[in-house]
Chains A and B, each alone.
Chain A
Amino acid sequence: MKILIVEDEARIAKRLERMTRAFFEKTLIRLEVFNSLEDGLNRILKVQFDLVLLDLNLNGSDGFKLLQTAVAESFDTIIVSAQKNDALRAFEYGVVDFVPKPFNSERLNLAFRRALSKVKFNNTGVQFLAIKNRGAINLIKISNVIYVKGAGVYSEIVVDNGNSKLHDKTLDQLNQLLPETFERIHKSYLVKMSEAKRIIISTGSKYELELNNGELLPIGRTRYKNLKTKWF
Chain B
Amino acid sequence: MYYVKVFYFKRFRILFFLILCFFMFSCSKLEKNPGKYSYKLGDNSTWSKIDYDDSHWVGHVDKDEEDIFWVRANVIVAKEGKSSEELGVYLSAFGAYQIYWDGVKIGDNGELGSEGNKVGSYIRFFKIPVSLSNMGAHVLSLRTSQKYYSNQPTILEIKLSNYFSLVRKPLKWVIYVNILAGAFLITFIHFLILFFNDKKSYPTLLVSISSLLFFLLIITEYVKFYIPIHYSYFYVRLEIITILTLIISFLIPFYFLIQFSLSWKKPFLIAYFLFLLSIYFVNHEYGDYDELNSYLTFSMWASAVFIVGSESIRGNKGAILIFIGLIINFVSHTWILSYDYSMLLSSTILLLSMIYILGLKTMEQRRKYEQSLVLTTRLRHELLKKNIQPHFLMNTLTSLIDWVEQAPKTGVRFIEALAKEFEIINDMENERLIPITMEIDLCKNHLEIMGYRREIDYTWSDSGININEKVPPAIFHTLVENGITHCLPRVDGTMRFELFFKSRPTMKTYEFYTHGTLRKLEKEIKEGTGIKYIKSRLIESYGDDWEFESSVSKEGWKNKIILYSK
The reply to whether A59 and B486 contact each other, CB–CB distance below 8 Å, is yes
Contact B485 A11 (CB under 8 A): no
Q: Are B393 and A82 in contact (CB under 8 A)?
A: yes
Q: For the complex, give the distance between the alpha carbons of A121 and B455 in Å.
A: 37
Interface contact B390-A11, CB-CB below 8 Å: no
User: Which of A9, A36, A83, A104 meets B390, CB within 8 Å?
Assistant: A83
Interchain CB contact under 8 A, A101 and B394: yes
Q: What CA separation (Å) do A2 and B537 show in the bound complex?
A: 49
Given the contacts A36-B519, A60-B485, A103-B398, A11 and B393 also touching, CB distance less than 8 Å: no
Question: Contacts A12-B399, A15-B398, A102-B398 known; A59 to B391 CB distance under 8 Å?
Answer: no
* CB–CB A15/B390 < 8 A: no
* A60 CA to B389 CA, complexed, in Å: 12
* Residue B397 CB within 8 A of the other chain: yes
Q: Which residues of B contact A84 (CB under 8 A)?
A: 390
A90 to chain B, nearest CB (A): 14
With both beta carbons as reference points, the residue of chain A lying nearest to B394 in the complex is identified as A82
- Asked if B402 and A101 make an inter-chain contact with CB atoms under 8 angstroms apart, the answer reads no
Closest chain B CB from A82 CB (angstroms): 3
Give B418 Cβ to nearest chain A Cβ, in Å.
Answer: 14
Per the bound structure, the CA–CA distance linking A122 and B38 in Å amounts to 121
Say which residue of A36, A57, A103, A104 sits within 8 Å of B391 (CB atoms): A57
**Subset of 27 A-B contacts with CB under 8 Å:** A9-B399, A9-B454, A10-B454, A10-B455, A11-B398, A11-B399, A11-B403, A11-B452, A11-B453, A11-B454, A12-B398, A12-B399, A12-B402, A12-B453, A15-B398, A15-B401, A57-B391, A59-B485, A60-B485, A61-B520, A82-B398, A83-B391, A83-B394, A100-B394, A102-B394, A102-B397, A103-B398
With a cutoff of 8 Å between Cβ atoms, the chain B residues found around residue A61 in the complex are: 520
Closest 7 A/B residue pairs (Cβ) = A82-B394, A11-B399, A10-B455, A102-B398, A101-B394, A60-B485, A101-B398
Per-residue interface assignment for chain A, residues 83 to 104, with 1 indicating a CB less than 8 Å from any chain B CB and 0 otherwise: 1110000000000000011111
Of chain A, the residue at the smallest CB distance from B393 is A82
* Distance between Cα atoms of A74 and B401 in the complex (Å): 33
Are the C-beta atoms of B519 and A9 separated by less than 8 Å? Answer: no
Contact A82 B390 (CB under 8 A): yes
CA distance A214 to B454 in the complex (A): 58
Q: Which residues of the other chain, B, contact A104 by a CB distance below 8 angstroms?
A: 401
Task: Report how far A59 CA is from B391 CA in the complex, Å.
Answer: 10
**A182-216 interface code vs B (CB 8 A; 1 in, 0 out):** 00000000000000000000000000000000000
Contacts of B391 in A (CB 8 A): 57, 60, 82-83
Q: Is A165 an interface residue (CB 8 A)?
A: no
Chain A residues with CB under 8 A of B452: 11
Whether A12 and B395, one on each chain, are in contact in the complex, defined by CB atoms closer than 8 angstroms, is: yes
Q: Could you list which residues of chain B lie within 8 angstroms of chain A, going by C-beta atoms?
A: 390-391, 393-395, 397-399, 401-403, 452-456, 485-486, 519-520, 528
Q: Are B402 and A15 in contact (CB under 8 A)?
A: yes
Q: Is the CB of A10 within 8 A of B456?
A: yes
Give the distance in Å from the alpha carbon of A226 to the alpha carbon of B124 in the complex.
125
Query: CB distance A102 to B401 under 8 Å?
Result: yes
Q: In the assembly, what is the distance between CA of A61 and CA of B456, in Å? A: 20
Shortest Cβ distance from A59 into B: residue: B485
A30: CB under 8 A from chain B? no
Query: A141 contacts the other chain (Cβ, under 8 Å)?
Result: no
Which residues in chain A, 51-67, are within 8 Å of chain B measured between CB atoms? 57, 59-61
Whole-angstrom distance from the CB of B295 to the nearest CB of chain A?
A: 71
Partner of A11, one of B402, B486, B519, B528: B402
| Per-position 1/0 for A23-44, Cβ under 8 A of B | 0000000000000100000000
Q: In the complex the two chains form, is B485's CB within 8 Å of A101's CB?
A: no
CA distance A15 to B485 in the complex (A): 20
* Chain B residues within an 8 Å CB radius of A10: 453-456
Residue numbers in B under 8 Å from A60 (CB-CB): 391, 485-486, 520, 528
Whole-angstrom CA separation of A84 from B390 in the bound complex = 8
Which residues of chain A are within 8 angstroms of B454 by Cβ–Cβ distance? 8-11
When distances are taken between beta carbons in the complex, the residues of chain B under 8 Å from A14 are 402
Give chain B residues whose Cβ lies under 8 Å from the Cβ of A12. 395, 398-399, 402, 453
Residue of A nearest to B397 (CB): A102
What is the bound-complex CA distance between A9 and B400, given in angstroms? 12
Contact A9 to B394, CB < 8 A, known contacts A60-B485, A60-B486: no
Closest partner residue, chain B, to A61 (CB atom): B520
Given the complex of chains A and B, what is the CA–CA distance between A61 and B521 in angstroms?
Answer: 11
Q: Looking at B391, B403, B455, B456, which has the most chain A CB atoms within 10 Å of its CB?
A: B391
Q: How many Å lie between the Cα of A8 and that of B487 in the bound state?
A: 12
B520 and A101 within 8 A (CB): no
Chain B residues whose C-beta falls within 8 Å of the C-beta of A103 in the assembled complex? 398
Q: How far is the CA of A83 from the CA of B388 in the complex (A)?
A: 12
- B486 contacts across to A, CB distance below 8 A: 59-60
Provide the residues of chain A in CB contact with B453, threshold 8 Å.
Answer: 9-12
Query: What's the Cα separation between A10 and B450 when bound, in Å?
Result: 10
The complex places the Cα of A104 from the Cα of B519 at a distance, in Å, of: 31
CB A217 to nearest CB in B, in angstroms, measures 45
Interface flags for A67-79 (1: CB within 8 Å of B; 0: not) read: 0000000000000
